[in-house]
Structure 1
Amino acid sequence: MPKKPALKKPAVDESYTGVAVEDLTAEQATAELERLAKLISYHDRRYHEKDDPEISDADYDALRRRNEAIEARNPELMRADSPSQKVGAEPAAGFGKVKHKVPMLSLGNAFEEQEVEEFLARIARFLGLAKEDAVEIMAEPKIDGLSCALRYEKGKLVQGATRGDGSTGEDITANVRTIRDLPNALKGKDWPEVLEVRGEVYMSRQAFMDMNKRQEEAGEKIFANPRNAAAGSLRQLNPEITASRPLHFFAYSWGEVAGDPAEALGGTMKAVRDSFHKWGFQLNEPARLCQGLDALLDYYRHIMAERPDLPFDIDGVVYKVNRLDLQNRLGFVSRAPRWAIAHKFPAEQAQTVLHEITIQVGRTGALTPVANLEPISVGGVVVSRATLHNEDEIARKDIREGDHVIIQRAGDVIPQVVEVIKDKRPKSSKPYHFPDHCPVCGSLALREEGEAVRRCTGGLICKAQNYERLRHFVSRDAFDIEGLGGKHIQAFLDDDTIRTPAHIFSRLPKLEPEISEREGWGKQSAANLVKAIEARRTIGLDRFIYALGIRQVGQATAKLLARSYHTLEHWRDAMTHAYRERKQQPEARKAEDVGEHYADLCNIEGIGMSVADDLVFFFGEDHNLKVLKDLEDELTIEEVAAPATTGSPVAGKTVVFTGTLETMTRSEAKARAETLGAKVAGSVSKKTDYVVVGADAGSKAKKAQELGVEILSEQAWRDLIGG
């Protein structure tokens, strides 16, 4: 098997790491999601493949949490390679691959009590339960180890596998057979013919310390923590090394099961745990069956207090709906089940000095304040910058240069300033005055009514904005021009070699000899750049739209637009018409009151009037139309074909649900429709195929009648999709 290339930390754009999620513009959010996707993928490989993480669990959780928060506020920006759609990392070289018949997914995280309360509320809403109908929850310690799947056939262990990327793991059968408290043959006789038991391979703290002492005496590798030690031990190519390591296994879940899992395993999580114990597995204790928020939080506080005395490492607790039939109804969303969540323990704080506040200018001209700190270790990682969010936050907390501040690595990628220690404030301290001019080009920086962000008005004359726009244009998910990194774009801008996206194609290929003579270049690198540029002269419409950097138009929205309009010509013409309609009806508050083209745009799922306005006003600027025209002259922009019809009766159809449904909640109905290939829209238009009406259906049903859209009862819808 070919050896994978060395793992190298990706170069990322940190321009917006200091901006609070709620203050990110669409362009900043897009750039942040790109950076987070790269970093999380890198750290996944360090953790799952190399067993050698660079950052703490709290810092990794912070990366994922920021990614999820940005996606929650901007669902249309979700990337195709989003970490929220992935689990773990690809299987490493050296092991055979195992395809999981039931995907091994990860869990969503909760960090605050309010998030646990919302988890319970989501379950109740999805299942249509009344407040008094509390769902039983099994609460368990969250073991910090390596996930593992064990397949038993007729009671005999036949295969062991790591989680890998959730779909494909590594075959570690020979290694798991060496774990002493893991049964090679199940006890009892009432187990299913095929049973896949899932759990965590771990190492106790004392065993870890003893092993590290032996490793040190032998001059061998010292492990950072028990989790790394367990993972590194389990993934040895030589099973004899694994056998020499003090590994243990806790069982807590299942994958493939012969027959109905609910029936075979007893119908509840409590019964599952009892069955696992009876069949010879150790369990993660102490667990508790809870009902209601207060009971869960009481368990959480109890486990956190007991944490130092437990013989193994935990990093939180896991809450799971007890009844398996309810788990089945709730199903999954993205990379995690709806019926379970991990309640993580809090992150650490630290105190340091804020030396200077600097301002960064983004692609949209947004001025973002960042605190430059005296470097300090927080959670095992040295940090030197922190987010200050915006000028209102600076004023509210009265943050000044020279202040001693408390920072926290909890909900952000870099630390946030939690508070100022005013008792230590220097006597010469002065309030910070946020600049009203751009620090890059000197243009006036204005703050629009209702916005927290102040923006440079310089536009393309501002090199910071032009630089960011061009860097976005050539980024991986846009034109993906390898070899044209940020420092090269800046150099080409500085000497006026390029000014617009089209110049990349019209000028740079002709300048190959000159580029090869520039500092940092050579003949081969210049030739490679030109080759990469020429290879991108043909591009899909969705990537082209995304590359334009239109405010609030991320990858997901670009794909929706491409699928809806199919060709650049059709999209451009529709947006131009929609702009004219909007210009004539600037005060309209409903899309249908603006005009037909504008209303069609807003009827695309995920596109509201705010996004629509940014789209159409892009086409109202002459310089933007010139950018489009110049690019058309250089490129071939591929048409996006309409989706093919599958065996599903509603694949490719647009469905609107209205009124109160009786046999399922709206969330269940929408989830089911989407799994069958239907598109669920929020409003009715002439392009709607079905309107499913429940009790108390209102204006949507009336509009469907007016437009002649087919109206289905709840039962008719269920009959159509097969029950």
Structure 2
Amino acid sequence: MTSSTAAQRVQDLREQIRTHDRLYYVEAQPQITDLEYDRLLAELKQLETEHPELASPDSPTRRVGDAPVPHLEQVAHRLPMLSIDNTYSLEELAAYFERAAKLLPDETIEWVMEYKIDGVAASIIYEDGLLVRALTRGNGKVGDDITHNIRTVGGVPLRLSGDQVPTVLEVRGEVYMTNDDLVELNLRQAAAGLPAYKNTRNVTAGTIRLLDSRIAAERRLRFFCHGVGYAEGLQATDHVSFLHEVGLLGLPPTPNVRRLANSAEAMQAAQSLEEDMPTIDFEVDGIVFKVNNFVQREALGSTSKSPRWLIAYKRERYEATTVLERIEVQVGKTGAITPVAYLQPVDIADTTVSRASLHNADEIERLDVREGDTVVVEKAGKIIPKVVRVEKHLRDQPLQPFVFPTACPECNTTLQRDEGGVAIRCPNPSCPAQLRQRIAFFASRTGMDIDGLGEKLIDQLVSKGIVRHYHDLYGMQAEEFIAHLDKVKTRKASSLVNAIEATRDRGLARVLTAVAIRHVGPRAAYRLTQAYPSLEALREASEEQLAAIDEVGPVIAKSVRDYLHSDYGRATLDGLQQAGVRMTEEVADTSDLPLQGKTFVVTGTLQRYKRDEIKQRIEALGGRASGSVSSNTDYLIAGAKAGSKKAKAEKLNVPVIDEDQFDELCQ
């Protein structure tokens, strides 16, 4: 091959590889296999070896690592690389939004929400599009020079792409490792007789500071860009456009960013964090809220430690290792088929965990999890424990892959995958499993609280065709329970009838919660019905009017509006109304309620109250029931066996009271 031909081929290969790097790391849409990619890289490396005059510092082959550096140099940041203030409670988060609003009076602040990735912070500097330096955060003023290792990180371009490259661009972000790559690394460790690594963050933190970049290249670190430092020639004037701009330059922007119109939407997003967090292959320990507009950021400024224009809402995370004994699938109330891992019981965060969510069929395939595997289980915040990764290096015998069912395990209907989604569902609305789940939630304490109507009785009512809708429960006589249900005697039957009758007057807010409208919990239902205290009024309200209600917002508003005007939702609520269930709500006069404006947290075992009952009483008397203790908590109500929340309350000088003292406050 002539020099000119080789030069052309080298240029073509570099462009191809950079294109595929972008498709893989930035757009998450790979078009070739790993093997095909490796062949392109191998050919390029061979040509550069045969024609050393064609070597270039921004060639993709430079990612394989060079000779070790003698030591890490300390380099000053051009702009301080400050840390982020953290909060673990919604009350502290709300207080932060209030402080920001006071600093920018008469201005609407638009927020963005993004994942707080559990990796290692890094600053990467480009001059005229070429990567020239990368630093750790260090002490915020001075960081370690890790340029040699950053050059090996997947998704970090050695030269920026595009026609409008900033003269100087310092991007800041997170270096991280995926759980899948940790699994592969530990397999290599086991094959070499070396100990396994415990978690992705420790590996990343150790790797990024290695002197030998060849080792870093083998560990498949990655990078997400989430911020900007010093820059000359940047076009963006807000965070969302900045992420778009760096994406065009070939840098991987932090994923799943949401723009939020105001702090009310931000609070709503924070409250739904645990439910909406998708299945992802990297570690996340919370979310970050940032002011979108760069001018407003400048106005808010910084303290000596942290910027005032962002805050992290973090979740406490706990992990343990155990054995997955079997996998079963469950049919939910919306028909979604959810695989569940049954585990050898293990203690995580003072609770015994024997089950964990596997989310969906795609997650099982990604994890390659099998019955008999040793797995790492995580419990973060209040969420159901989930399997984080499989310790494949401990798989010492062949295990059979799990085969996801193609038919509903309950009604044998052919399952369907959501169009463009990952959920696999039973499309049969009459599926007994779905109906059981819906009735069970309707009867639960969160729903209508039908005392005595448990899973076994619901199973009989549904399987025998006695109950097909919520309203079928009403009007049932004791004789029907005795005749159709096993082991139900006269006293039990009478109690069930009385318990069902007692729910007729629960009110509209409880009904909206009980029928399981997506995104609508007790608090949102209460807010909705205080604004529109009858079913008719609620149906007449527009989506915009619903969204304007405090603590509701557009997501809940759309969900409620869609449900109220769907055939199913209309038939469900009309059926309950015709059965005599009250579809109105009393509007509370909060002007002189004894608990008005007070925030309470409940912990331990109470004697006179069920947990839901005391929370309902708090809110009915004008207070707010929170799940976590913070400096904004007014009282902690502590029962027997109160644990960490009581200790935290005492540390923060939050008054700790018992049930008697709470009752006195209510008078």
TM range (shorter): 0.3 to 0.5
Q: Which has the higher contact order (CA 8 A, sep 6+)?
A: 1
TM-score, length-scaled by structure 1: 0.37
TM-score, length-scaled by structure 2: 0.40
